[in-house]
Chains A and B, each alone.
Chain A
């Protein structure tokens, strides 16, 4: 599934001139290839809201003057943004082919994409081979840059270790008693890694807590009755889950019907995105994160970024009749980062449209503001972002008829992310050396 979203000058000129091949990139436009899930199980939770947010932001930037400074200038350095969108469904092999098509046939100036960790591991070697500037905007696996290094590839979102370290810190800061804990996570890399990170963080902050059962139902299992019985029997003080999408919704529906949330504290590493769907069926008192200061946590934050956050929040609500959860926030921070990098590269190169090499040089070690906070390319030699995080507690507001996050705690990026040069697993095992917590 592919569509050119912006009816920019490029397509018009190509058609008028009778060009039958792919339109070549021009200096008055900046062409981005966006890859995210438009179909499949990750579409509803991540892909579609991310692209909804991305489309909205591109339109606002192209119009110019719709956002607070420094994002009030038109497009990228005056260039109109054109987008080609590709569905991420189909697996890594297909995505490698789609990536080559975007770079070699569509001649995009930058690629922004990938929710799946499998795709994030498959694309970077190809990006470096083609010398194509690429932003990984969403995926969580730390292995992308901890096991390799790439010249043209950048990840503008923090990796998943942050989510689980923040949860453990939240428990500790609230003096939550954790004599024992258990987990229910999806049986693939995301669920396994999340559980390992959570266990690692808990072993440092709660060394005496007993690990009870660790359950890994199949991805898309749907039925959690037996797992819930096992959790109820084990009687852990808390249950950790990094489930997402339909798996998380199904688990919460079944778990709350059997009172699991009343017998154990539920902590959800990435649970904010099911709030719009579940509404008041999401129980009060759940500790949850949004993989960054995203969604309700961003809306509740205030501070210097309030104007930028409120602008995007209001525009999203007006356009889609729902509030933005974590996925659009990560797309926004990628596009704001790309705008900052393009304009920095142009300033360094006499105002001309940057090459992939110039863009990569500008992006390395860059820092910029986004609705999710200050994003810093501080790891992996300036290729991997760190960002602040937040954890809060769900509470249904009967007056407004909306779910709120209360008791939100915000964490400095350097408090919940490993320092440069250290792998996440080592950082957890060594007790968070170099962590800078306020």
Chain B
């Protein structure tokens, strides 16, 4: 298989996964103006929850219809969003709306640390495996290389997620209300918009996307403690490149990171980590707000 084609395919696979993880982060920032460090924990909990649910599915005779395990993956992400979304947003974050952004970062960092220990209390330190969904779709031969069909399913999931989020925000009534809240929450409230509900909905959607990223990743890894740490770092790089709060920005950021990383692994493996942050630095030199964020006047 041609090197350029290999880099593109590898980059697309990585970018697909990265977009699903990052788009929730940027959505929550866009609506709530909170940089949610605990997004990484929600990703990890999604992975654990899906491992448990898929395991239970097969234990209950799921071998007869193994494709049902994909529904279990999605159900796990929904459960995480429904349980933890309101708990975190209504139970904690709402008390910090309008406060200093740095304070919000510290609050969500505290939540991240707490959830890391909660995961150990619930799932322990031993790894969880759910290989079955990873191999169900077989392999795809591309030139001299074999890819796992599941990887392309993740790209498909990323496209569906991206379109769903974009269409919801830009082509539906609720989306217009959300955009109004993003533009000015106070005026929206005076116009009769239930801002609290919008905040809750946006945070639950962000939690769902984080958990979905973890759930889709679980079949290809061993789910162990500390899973969310690396993810949140690279997800931040993506949303900073694309511009905080921008869905198209998250897509472009994920593509840039995915493809540049793939090129580095194939051509200059020593620079695999460097290249991600190099791309980010270059973007920030020319666009300090990120590629798609609107430039804002600085208040003095």
Contact = CB atoms under 8 A, between A and B. Distances in A.
A86 interface: no
Interface in B96-138: 120, 125-127, 129, 131, 134-135
Do most interface residues of chain A lie in helix, strand or loop, or is the interface mixed? helix
A281 B131 contact: yes
Given A233-B144, A245-B224, A277 B129 contact: yes
Contact of B269 (A39, A41, A229, A230): A230
A41 B229 CA distance: 11
Given A217-B272, A223-B14, A223-B217, 18 more contacts: A41-B225, A44-B125, A48-B125, A214-B269, A215-B269, A218-B230, A222-B227, A223-B221, A225-B147, A229-B145, A232-B146, A245-B222, A253-B134, A254-B220, A257-B134, A259-B146, A277-B126, A277-B127
Interface residues on A, range: 35 or more
B217 A216 contact: no
Interface string B73-110: 00000000000000000000000000000000000000
B17 A223 contact: yes
Contact of B1 (A48, A216, A233, A253): A233
A216 B272 contact: yes
Contacts, number: 118
A248 to B, nearest CB: 9
B221 A249 contact: yes
A366 B131 CA distance: 47
B265 A226 contact: yes
Interface string B145-158: 11110010000000
A257 B221 CA distance: 12
B224 A253 contact: no
A233 B266 contact: yes
A213 interface: yes
B39 interface: no
A229 B270 contact: no
B146 A222 contact: no
Given A48-B125, A215-B265, A222 B230 contact: yes
Contact of A233 (B127, B145, B227): B145
B127 A44 contact: yes
Interface string B226-265: 1101110000000000000000000000000000011001
A107 interface: no
5 contacts: A39-B125, A44-B126, A215-B269, A227-B265, A233-B3
B269 to A, nearest CB: 5
Interface string A210-253: 00011111101111011101101100000000000110011001
B13 interface: yes
Contacts of B126: 44, 277
Given A39-B120, A218-B273, A258-B146, A230 B266 contact: yes
Nearest to A38: B125
When A and B form their complex, which 9 residue pairs have the shortest distance between CB atoms, in order from nearest?
A: A249-B222, A246-B224, A250-B221, A226-B10, A226-B265, A246-B222, A43-B125, A226-B262, A257-B148
Contacts of B217: 222-223
Contacts of B139: 257-259
B6 interface: yes
Contacts of B262: 226, 229
A51 to B, nearest CB: 12
Q: Which residue, of B9, B11, B126, has the highest number of chain A Cβ atoms within 10 A? A: B126
A187 interface: yes
Contacts of A218: 230, 272-273
Contacts of A253: 129, 131, 134, 220-222
B225 A39 contact: yes
Interface residues of B, number: 43
A232 B141 CA distance: 12
A70 interface: no
Q: Which residue, of B14, B120, B230, has the highest number of chain A Cβ atoms within 10 A? A: B230
A215 B265 CA distance: 7
A80 B220 CA distance: 47
Interface of A: 39-41, 43-44, 48, 187, 213-218, 220-223, 225-227, 229-230, 232-233, 245-246, 249-250, 253-254, 257-259, 277-278, 281
A245 B17 CA distance: 22
Given A40-B226, A41-B226, A216-B272, A226 B261 contact: yes
Contacts of B272: 215-218
B220 A223 contact: yes
A187 B271 CA distance: 11
B38 to A, nearest CB: 18
Contacts of A259: 139, 146
Interface string B1-31: 1010010011101100100000000000000
Contacts of B269: 213-216, 230
A187 B272 CA distance: 10
Given A222-B221, A277-B222, A258 B273 contact: no
Nearest to B1: A233
A421 to B, nearest CB: 34
A34 to B, nearest CB: 17
Q: Which residue, of A39, A41, A245, A257, has the highest number of chain B Cβ atoms within 10 A? A: A257
Given A40-B226, A43-B125, A225 B270 contact: no
Nearest to A245: B224
Interface string B197-241: 000000000000000000001001110111101110000000000
Q: Which residue, of A213, A215, A222, A229, has the highest number of chain B Cβ atoms within 10 A? A: A229
Contacts of B144: 232-233
Contact of A257 (B6, B135, B261): B135
A233 B129 CA distance: 28
Contacts of B10: 225-226, 229
A14 B193 CA distance: 66
Nearest to A48: B125
B58 to A, nearest CB: 14
Nearest to B226: A41
A436 to B, nearest CB: 37
